[in-house]
Chains A and B, each alone.
Chain A
Amino acid sequence: MKRWLIAALVLLLGKLRPPRALPPGRPVREPDRRAENLTFLLLLCAMAAAAAFIAFYFANPDTQFLGATLGLAFVLLAAACLVAGKRVVPQIEGVKERPELEHPFEQDEVVAVIAEGGEGVSRKRFFLLAGGGAAGLMGAALLTPALSCGPEANRVLSRSPWNRGRLLVTELDEPIVAAGIVVGELVTAFPSGADKEDIASPVIVVRVRPDELDLPDDRRGWAPEGLIGYSKICTHAGCAVSEYRYPSYGPTAPGPAVVCPCHYSTFSVTEGGKRIFGPAGRALPQLPLAINGDGQLVADGDFSGRPGPGWWGVRK
């Protein structure tokens, strides 16, 4: 501790008198004893810290001990090099000429040499054109295999596990009983038997009072008993839309909506997933719901639009 204090003190004092660069030429140098001693001291401390690191590695490999000792060893060594570089060794100032970069004469020569190579060749322009064409088409040919994904892309991206009658299940594959969902609640559901990680899989189901509903006309009957389903994947950039606000007392609080925690796009749940704030460009796709004979939630068809982020050519 004391040693460290002294070292810090010396370092600070040393800093107060910044060494001046010597003029060019080599005057005879007196050794700077203090700086030399300091360098030795710092080297010794660095050794101690490095040894401490090794000891900690075997005795108590706690991240803080390891980091502090090894980091300190490096810092001390750096300080030693700093003092040595600025105070112990001579400061030699050099002056060099810069290389001339430009060679106007050679430039002409290069052009001439290149031109020589084309002497006696007719239809140069044509060759250039044909060569360029060949290179371009070769490039296109080499890139074509990538397209083996291409024509598929639209189909791959448009697949949906949802269809009429598909049972909704929880993360643990249990069916969802419609009557179990109360007003103001949000449930995450998946199509039974499908890959849950698929972008088109997860949906949120909420229950609102039927009189709050304000769905587009062609979606009447999509929300039995006020139970509405939406894709859980944001139409902006694919995050899970999982913030839900439902006012416990409507008149003094913002209305029911789901919010995406990535860029806070906000979709009204009572108005068919209409975007009411944020960067998303499309509404949240709605999943038509129905209740089967056992009182369980099933899908009554596919989404109203493509779930998840959009791409060139996707239907709005």
Chain B
Amino acid sequence: MIRRAVRFLDERLGTAPLLKKTLQYVFPDHWTFMLGEIALYAFVVLVATGIYLALFFEPSLAHVTYQGDYAPLRGHEMTKAFQSTLDLSFETKGGLLLRQTHHWAANVFVAAIVLHLLRILYTGASRKPRDLNVWIGTTLLALAVFEGYAGYSLPDDLLSGMGLAIGYSVLLSLPVVGAWLAVLVWGGQFPGKEVFEPRLFITHVFVIPIVMATLIAIHLAIIVRQKHTQFPGPGRTERNVVGSTLWPSYALRSTSLLLAVAGVLLLLGGLVQINPIWLYGPYHTYSATNGAQPDWYIGWLIGALRLMPPLEIHVFGYTLVPNPFFGGALFPLLVFGLLYSWPAIERRITGDHARHELLDRPRDVPWRTATISAFFSWVAVVFLAGSQDQVALHFHFSYVGLVWFFRVASVVVPLVVFFVTRRVAAELKETELHPLRLDR
């Protein structure tokens, strides 16, 4: 049976050597190397559930009066986009399950990418020859964040509308071209013409997913070409790769991960409510809710918008750079700019242009570990500031006081983190203690 299949393919495509090579492909299998795989499989779940949702969602801003199953919204004027999302949630069997699974998948997807990125940076996997893949991966992260924002904006509920207003303002704030771009994208002034929703839809379900899938394919192809990095150890050198072969163990394990990702996301989708748009109701430019928040991966941008002092650049009574530019555009440009240029920065600092296949442990290079920690703590502080209204509410801190606290923290924390991390890493390197178990 197997022989017949192998022969069938080989006779027609000459695939036997390739098959053999594939089956014996070697995966270094330290568990942290599977973080990217979690993201990959979350992407698979996103595509699968997304196709299902697209069969029911109507990307239209046409007005209707809701008469569906959810009583508190009956009689409300709303757009078809919102109504179809309600119907999908209340009247389609299994619709809510897949909608929630899709949303959880998005949240976990970006989280997995971030952890994967941290693993890459901390272990020095960003060095030559993998700088190429750092750039692609960083692009994927940016696209994932934007894709999530687009999805959050589609249902036209109160939160998506408020999020879009802010997105519009950030685009509008870009120097010189902002007004043109915003009017171009929205087809006019916010909230825009009818065409906006289909544009957003096609961007969310087609353009970005295609680009992402292509980049993921290239990302993986580069890994196949370069082979995965590995930690140093007996028998491992810069010139070989040691690990489990694809067949049989790794194939089963990777399948297991795919199934586990799908399973965990479905369990979340079925048991934990996410984005209850029926509670938020339809959006109008003149309505708002307190404590409106984006999904977590936009939190760092909201945080930046909230921490930014009321700075604007005016010349002769004309605005040149409106405030949202700093938090909403300059800050992410800076963060992603640093990520893109990290391989070059590192080369500049170390003067090391060699090819590296063996990884460092984070403690091995204290300055790098400290720098990366400081960088991420900076983003993390701003991220936390994004939820400061919830903090103020639930812990009864003054909001105004919190803004000042976070402004100071965003400067102080990275510095403290830098020195503490460098010290700890150096210490660990010397004593060879395990960071958590404190043995060995």
Q: Which residues of A contact B (CB under 8 A)?
A: 21, 57, 61, 63-68, 70-82, 84-86, 89-99, 101-102, 146-147, 149-150, 152-154, 156-157, 159, 171, 188, 190, 196-202, 232-233, 236-240, 242-243, 260-265, 275, 277-282, 308-316
Contacts and interface: CB of A to CB of B under 8 A. Distances in A.
Contact of B243 (A70, A93, A97): A93
B309 to A, nearest CB: 7
B189 interface: yes
B267 A71 contact: yes
A316 B317 contact: yes
Contacts, number: 296
Nearest to A171: B286
Interface string B236-249: 00111111110111
Given A237-B165, A263-B305, A74 B290 contact: no
A147 to B, nearest CB: 7
9 contacts: A74-B259, A74-B266, A82-B260, A85-B255, A94-B24, A95-B240, A146-B180, A157-B172, A310-B173
Contacts of A146: 180, 184
Most buried by B among A70, A263, A282: A263
B6 interface: no
Nearest to B176: A312
Given A67-B268, A281-B323, 20 more contacts: A71-B266, A74-B263, A74-B266, A90-B248, A101-B129, A199-B191, A237-B305, A242-B288, A261-B290, A263-B305, A263-B306, A275-B310, A281-B319, A281-B322, A308-B189, A311-B178, A311-B319, A312-B178, A312-B321, A316-B318
Interface string B172-209: 11111011101110001111000000000000000000
B323 A93 contact: no
A63 B190 contact: no
A279 B305 contact: yes
B256 A85 contact: yes
B97 interface: yes
Contacts of A72: 263, 267
B143 interface: no
A68 B286 CA distance: 40
Nearest to A190: B286
Given A156-B189, A157-B179, A63 B319 contact: no
Contacts of A240: 284-288
B242 A94 contact: yes
A153 B270 contact: no
Interface residues of B, number: 99
Contacts of B252: 81-82, 84-85, 89
Contacts of A147: 180
A74 B45 CA distance: 12
B275 interface: no
A17 B157 CA distance: 51
Given A92-B244, A94-B26, A238 B190 contact: yes
Nearest to A101: B129
A75 B180 contact: no
Contacts of A150: 180, 183-184
B357 interface: yes
B315 to A, nearest CB: 9
B190 A199 contact: yes
Contacts of A82: 252-253, 256, 260
B131 to A, nearest CB: 13
A146 B187 CA distance: 11
A197 B285 contact: yes
A188 to B, nearest CB: 6
Interface string B303-330: 0011011111010011111111001100
Contacts of B287: 240, 242
